[in-house]
Structure 1
Amino acid sequence: MAEATLNGLNLERLKEIVKEVASQPEKAEELNVWRARVRWLGGFRGRAYVRDHTFIIDEPSDLAGVDTAPNAVEYVLSALGGCLTVGFILNATKNNVKIDDLEVSLEGRIDNILTFLGLSDQGHPGYREIKAKLYVRSPADPKTIQDIWSKTLETSPVGNTLSRNVKIVPEVSVVD
């Protein structure tokens, strides 16, 4: 017998995961910790290592990179878009709402790029605003879609990371 799916998710497996995390605090704690490493490759290029995956980070040519990959602030937008996509599908599926197609479009505005380049003390070099627009095709009514979108924004780990002050704990190890 085929397993029931909705929006490409195995419904039984999703229920099992939610039940497991809810009943095992140590499992939830494991899912609270995420890791990444980035190794410099020369110039403005780096290779990121995340679990069993790697990807390149570079700067566009108008910022002295060679434009072989997205830069870090573009990955931030992509991370938010990925998180919102996953969150929307999760919330839709939990509410038994079928999604036929979905895209999240993001645009971020840096406060002042000149501070990153050391050319200004005004403002800051981070995003001051990110617009996130959902394009979705679904048989659900617009209010249901809006409610799912609102819940998605409220519970997005990446969205919450970007909208809250996050403590960064710096360390340095000089190696031979």
Structure 2
Amino acid sequence: MTDYTWTVRVERVGEQEAKVFSRNHVFVVGEQASFRETDPHPSAVEYLLGALGGDLLRGFQIQAARQRVAVDALEVMLSGRLNNPLSHLGVVGEAGHPGLESIQGTFYVSADADRSALEEMWRAALERSPLFNTLRRSVELSLELRVML
């Protein structure tokens, strides 16, 4: 399985919505990047952050299972910052670009293992993460492991 390709189909379903079809799943994407407090659907930027968080969390779970480490709790908090949000909005004369400039986050873990073992699992999860290894080439990533008692 050295050359597997994932495919999604995306269609317009409203003025501010896109529906994504992926294998047997369907989800709705709202704005590209929303600056409002509430929206009917997550933005594309929020889906990207959520996908990264899910990738890291599941990757850590896999590493813990391989090491036979019981995990009590895992949580990831991620924040993303655009290079220049005004360029996304089309403000004339703005410099920069609308892409993500940085992603910062904290990975919280409570598990039945010592800190060095958890750090090794974290490193292995990062090494095997498709999204982390894609994003780190274009975005400043600052991710911290925090061990909880």
Which bin holds the TM-score, normalised by the shorter protein? Answer: 0.7 to 0.9
For structure 1, the residue ranges without an aligned partner over 5 or more in a row are: 1-26, 166-176
The farther-off stretch of 82-91 and 144-153 is 144-153
Once the two structures are TM-superposed, the CA of residue 61 in structure 1 deviates from its matched residue by: 7.3
SS in 2 for 1:106: strand
Q: Which has the higher helix share?
A: 1
Q: Distance in 1 between matches of 2:76 and 2:20?
A: 24
Deviations 1:82-125 (A, max 9, x none): 10011101111112222111111111111111111221441221
Q: Could you say which residue in structure 2 is the equivalent of 1:112?
A: 84
Q: Distance in 2 between matches of 1:61 and 1:76?
A: 16
8 A contact 1:104–1:132 mirrored in 2: yes
Higher Rg:
1
- How many residue pairs match? The answer is 135
Q: Which has the higher strand share?
A: 2
The amino acid of 1:50's aligned partner reads: S
Select 1:155's aligned residue among 97, 106, 128. 128
Are 2:95 and 1:122 equivalent residues in the alignment?
Answer: yes
SS in 2 for 1:33: coil
Q: Distance in 2 between matches of 1:41 and 1:130?
A: 30
Q: Could you say which residue in structure 2 is the equivalent of 1:143?
A: 116
Q: Could you say which residue in structure 1 is the equivalent of 2:60?
A: 88
Select 2:25's aligned residue among 36, 53, 73. 53
Q: CA, structure 1 residues 61+117, in 2 after alignment: closer, same or farther (shift >3 Å)? A: closer
Q: Distance in 2 between matches of 1:56 and 1:89?
A: 27
Once the two structures are TM-superposed, the CA of residue 139 in structure 1 deviates from its matched residue by: 1.1
For structure 2, the residue ranges without an aligned partner over 5 or more in a row are: 139-149
Higher RCO (C-alpha 8 Å, min separation 6): 2
Deviations 1:58-87 (A, max 9, x none): 134739xx8211000000000000100111
Deviations 1:136-161 (A, max 9, x none): 11110111111111221222101111
Task: Give identity over the alignment, percent.
Answer: 39
Q: Could you say which residue in structure 2 is the equivalent of 1:98?
A: 70
Q: Could you say which residue in structure 2 is the equivalent of 1:62?
A: 36
Q: Distance in 2 between matches of 1:37 and 1:68?
A: 21
RMSD (Å) for aligned C-alpha atoms: 1.9
